[in-house]
Structure 1
Amino acid sequence: MPSLYVHVPFCVKKCNYCAFYSEPLQRSKVEGYLTSLNREADLRQQKVQEGMSTLFIGGGTPTALNEEELDTLLSIINSNFKFKDSAEKTMEANPGTLTTEKLQTLRKQGINRVSLGVQSLNDDLLRQIGRIHRSEEVKDAVRLIREAGFKNLNLDLMFGLPGQNLADWRDTLEETLRIRPEHISVYGLMVEEGTPIALNKELIANLPDDDTQAELYHLTREILGKAGYQHYEISNYALPGYECQHNLGYWRRMEYLGIGPGAVSCLKNRRFKNFEDIFLYEKMLSKWELPVDSKENEFLSKREQMVELLILGLRLKDGINLPQFKNEYGADLFELYPAVLERYLKAGVLRIEDGSLLLKPEYWFVANGVLQEFV
């Protein structure tokens, strides 16, 4: 049973670090987007009659839509796709874009998890990275979310920001713990080519060095771990029972369907992506044609599938179950990468425990350097 991702490409203002596809919010564009999304959902649902395991609505900023638009968006999803009764259904939100009425609409339409884009609780750092909210608005948003009855809240945080130091980051983490969300995602800043932050020499010169970034990462593990959060994936922490089921599906290489401009799907080992262009997206769907970019359409070979599972699985605390891997692919992982695995096992970077291959947590901060050897 695949998961469903819905891309809402509108933002009030694009953040200085963001490389995801988005468009400036214009009410006239939203109407055309929703009409086209309904058509795509109608075409796609015919291929996923078994239903969807989870829902994640991201962007962009989905909650930049008004109450009526959100209601239409969720009606499109619910009328075209079936979900199991206990399905996790997440919507991304930004502080400053939430109201009681919007949250009531989300609840009425079955959303049961909110992922709030906070990034920092330091107002100076928020200004530097182009966020439209300030720390006080985070607290207001959390109050509204809780008053609306949501019992599953994620906060997105970001470390490695220009000028950020250990004291700033500790303050953000401690303030986050006072909020006590069920889930916390913690990402290191990625400076993407062409983004405003990448073009700002002053900000680039003020980025924390590698040693400081490592200290920020390990401080996160220490503080959140002591507070009862389980570090179940390189960038994710959860109170027991609140791990993000949608993202676990990605890391375990489960199938997923993406709809909306720029959305990516992987079904029956074919990965394809919709056009990152709302005009082309709407033009194709006006003719009832699927808006897939032919340049972003590939079939994954068996070896590519195995490599992908290896790279994604080692991000998880539970690692890769070796008997399951062999049963799934008819291949022994140690026959595929004998030299690399032996070297990292001897060095204590990897270990085998209860039949699973694990990347030791103390090496998670440098995981990309390890994982790229399997590409």
Structure 2
Amino acid sequence: CAMVLMGEGRAFGPDGLERPVPELLAEAGISPIELREKEGLALINGTDGMLGMLCLAIFDLEHLLDEADVIAAMSVEGLMGTDQVFRAQLHEPLRPHPGQATSARNMFAALVGSEIVASHRHGDDKVQDAYSLRCAPQVAGAVRDTIAYARSVAERELAAAIDNPVVLEDGEVTSNGNFHGAPVGYVLDFLAIAATDLASISERRVDRMLDRHRNSGLTPFLAADAGVDSGLMIAQYTAAGLVSDCKRLAVPASVDSIPSSAMQEDHVSMGWHAGRKLRRVVDNLRNVLAIEYIGAARCVELRAPHKPAPITGAAIARLRTKVAGHGPDRFLAPELEAAAEILRAPKA
């Protein structure tokens, strides 16, 4: 951004093509800015870049968490799980983490009115559901609380003076260390860890719904013609690969540091690297949730004639505007991309 303001380098124009910045500014009737004393350093020093990446990640993750709660509820419904573990009295009064209470409330609400859940409420020989179903609000809720903490850090940083040197109210110009990105770098790493775990539990639900020994009577891999079709087998491979990528990217960047500038800058936050890693994790998470979305919808539809809950039914109807339902094997990539696009946060 700083180079564009100065009329330097290359950038993408309105046509989406990369061109020299002087040409783009001239066409737009914009004159390059002329920097004065200290302004050049102010444009590139401090936490602005990593803070921008943090804010964008928070925006996307807050949206994805709401989607993830409904998708998890769909998986519970399709796998003949119980909604009773999501009751409010099992959460905030006993374990007062606000994110957990929110996710449990969302999941319970998403299953209200489900004929599928009601069909096995009595006489079910299962003692309890697997962790990936039963503990869904505990994991998603912990991610919510992590995002809330990251938001508090971002809001403080947005209101902060991180310039160096800084001009105080009395006119004193003095050096300081407020440009150091540790507060932002830490939460960028923290979010990558949390988002990776959410992707991990989502993938475990996908694996469960494809296993005929664990999917409560559905076909292997949810195939239309078992033994002939592969169903969603390769989609689960994709989810597993994305989660493995996330696990590698979840290794913290902020614990690393490399000195520069003749050892004057001998400890740095690595926040920029943390931000770039987090962006990839967020995109991977969206794609994993898209795979669970497709699988859970297929599970629920295969429980006909029992009808889904109104909320999960509406989520399936939204998916069906872009992704076809159960049927013979077909090329999955366009459908996975379409589902991921549905889950993308709307532009602010």
Higher relative contact order (CA 8 A, sep 6+): 2
Structure 1-normalised TM-score? 0.22
Structure 2-normalised TM-score? 0.24
Structure with the higher fraction of residues in strand conformation: 1
Structure with the higher fraction of residues in helix conformation: 2
